[in-house]
Amino acid sequence: MRPALLLHFEDETDQAARIAAESGIPTACISRHRFPDGELKLRLPEALPPRIALLRSLAQPNEKLVELLLVARTARTLGATQLTLIAPYLAYMRQDMAFAPGEAVSQRIVGSLLADLFDAVITVDPHLHRIQRLEEAVPVPRAVVLSGAPLLADLIAQRRPRALLIGPDEESAQWIAQAAARHGFDHGVCRKVRYGDRHVEIALPAIDVRQRQVVLLDDMASSGHTLAQAARGLLAAGAASVDVAVTHALFAHDAGRLLWDAGIREVWSTDCISHPSNAVYMAPALAAALQ
């Protein structure tokens, strides 16, 4: 059964309103106060219906995970018996194994925390590597995975009808396949060798990119180095233009400037993370998942 109330924080009011307009579910804003020492005080509505949804996209996640803990535990005391987390961006999914002795496997730890707090999780394009299903990372009774790739493909079809879709690395292949199949785009995937967060090497696919309008498509853009290096290689190989389409516009530090300096013309993203590049809205899909 669908939730009877959608809780949200003030900074996500616009997205909550879009979901409410699509679903017909009323919203309520959580009051948030920060003490001088950095601790948080949250206030929820005094009486809650049994079924609640909480919208919280987990970019810059550390403080937000504390918010989830406080909200979920408080909601239970106020009468909620079924809690659904809507996390359009789900953090801490990339670290799914210990690559060196002593490393924390954050996917397993954060996934278990979320499963302790919520009965269902709805997210978009989680960054999963070695597992196939979100339930393996977040063992909740109901886990729903949506994708921004089809909607980004629709946007690309409008703005670059003859685009060549390129994935910046092998992990992007699943999103490239979805988008290409939707509109019959030519497509390929680069090969990436990573030496660190900001040091990667990119090998272009064996495709003639000369005079093509190329769109780099991926699930996220964080530091921007992989996309920038792919764009420089494509332009050097004769591409007429390079644009970027991503589900999650993380864009840490100077990532935006890095992309422009690499010659990328436009960047389009979904509103899973609020950013000036947002061009696709996930509210209809998120509202449908709540039904």
Domain chopping of the chain, boundaries: 5-147+281-290, 149-271
Mean pLDDT of the chain: 93
Check whether 200 has a pLDDT greater than 80: no
Q: For domain 149-271, give the CATH number.
A: 3.40.50.2020
Q: Residue 25: which pLDDT band, with cuts at 50, 70 and 90? A: very high
Q: What is the pLDDT of residue 10?
A: 97
* HEC-encoded secondary structure of the chain: CCCCEEEECHHHHHHHHHHHHHHCCCEEECEEEECCCCCEEEECCCCCCCEEEEECCCCCHHHHHHHHHHHHHHHHHCCCCEEEEEECCCCCCCCCCCCCCCCCCHHHHHHHHHHHHCCEEEEECCCCCCCCCHHHCCCCCEEEEECCHHHHHHHHHHHCCCCEEEECCHHHHHHHHHHHHHHCCEEEECEEEEEECCEEEEECCCCCCCCCEEEEEEEEECCCHHHHHHHHHHHHCCCCEEEEEEEEECCCCCHHHHHHHCCCCCEEEECCCCCCCEEECCHHHHHHHHC
pLDDT tens digit string along 63-79?
999 999 999 999 999 99
pTM assigned to the model: 0.93
Q: Which pLDDT score, from 0 to 100, does residue 159 have?
A: 96
Does residue 192 carry a catalytic annotation? yes
Q: What is the pLDDT of residue 197?
A: 59
Query: Bridge partners of 256?
Result: none
In the predicted structure, residue 58 carries a pLDDT above the cut 90: yes
pLDDT at 51 (0 to 100): 97
- Among the listed residues 56, 108, 127, 192, the single catalytic one is 192
Could you tell me which CATH number the domain at 5-147+281-290 has?
Answer: 3.40.50.2020
Q: In what order do the strands lie in the sheet with 267-270?
A: 186-189, 164-167, 213-221, 241-249, 267-270, 278-280
Q: Which residue has the tokens 């960047």?
A: 267
For residue 192, is pLDDT > 80?
no
Angle at the Cα of 262 from the Cα atoms of 245 and 215, rounded to 5 degrees = 25
Check for a shared fold between 5-147+281-290 and 149-271. Answer: yes
Residue 35 vs residues 29, 40, 74: alpha-carbon distances, Å: 19, 6, 19
Q: What is the mean pLDDT of residues 167-176?
A: 90
pLDDT tens digits for range 127-144: 887 788 999 999 999 999
How far apart CA 13 and CA 120 sit, in angstroms, is 21
